[in-house]
A = this chain, B = another copy of it.
């Protein structure tokens, strides 16, 4: 079914890129392509038949809903990212599309079989899981101590890095994948505070706002300083 593999934009970077051509075809036969519009849900917390998926294009958010009904964004998923809890009996979090997204989805049983059949896949997924763990810990480090300004600077810095093709350089201009409410939500702040701090970062000369979503990096070094991170 997925002759799509041949033209897949993430065929060289997704987890399945470690497979041989035949292995990949076999796996592709079990998967199916799915398109989600902004706001559509891949699966919800509590789903027991939650699928697994590789994100081909677009962006997803992973979020928790606490008792009082407020949502908390825990992570973003970018193209070539893998999503899915392989061992939990049910999903712990919601996964929702931030923009129109295309995914390559698999039933969990199929991924399970593939892990056993292709050791390289298990290794690739392990690597991804450890990278996810690392980025979640970075977020944790940020939200635990840092001021609102530092958190926002770090997030903008990350977005600039994600928006750039090369991993070692920042995009000098990019569109925010999130609206103010979602940014606030990710950083554990309020919309108003994000708005104010955005203004302050602009006054400091670190960034310039281009419309509602556009950001230009005026002084990347200053932004890095404000973000409280020493390295890239």
Contacts and interface: CB of A to CB of B under 8 A. Distances in A.
A127 interface: yes
Nearest to A125: B126
Interface of A: 62, 64, 66-67, 70, 72, 74-75, 85-88, 92-93, 115-116, 119, 122-123, 125-127, 129-134, 136-137, 139-141, 143-145, 186-188, 228-230
Given A66-B228, A116-B119, A86 B137 contact: no
A188 B143 contact: yes
Is chain A's interface secondary structure helix, strand, loop, or mixed overall?
A: helix
Contact of A122 (B64, B66, B74, B123): B123
A86 to B, nearest CB: 6
A230 B67 contact: yes
A1 to B, nearest CB: 27
A231 to B, nearest CB: 10
B129 A85 contact: no
Contacts of A188: 143-145
A130 B187 CA distance: 23
Given A62-B137, A143-B143, 5 more contacts: A72-B141, A72-B144, A86-B126, A133-B133, A144-B188
Contacts of A123: 115-116, 122
B140 A66 contact: no
A131 B126 CA distance: 12
Nearest to A93: B137
A144 B143 contact: yes
A141 B74 CA distance: 7
Contacts of A130: 85-88, 129
A66 B75 CA distance: 22
Given A115-B123, A126-B126, A127-B86, A72 B134 contact: no
Contacts of A127: 86-87
A121 to B, nearest CB: 9
A102 to B, nearest CB: 24
A82 B36 CA distance: 36
Nearest to A137: B74
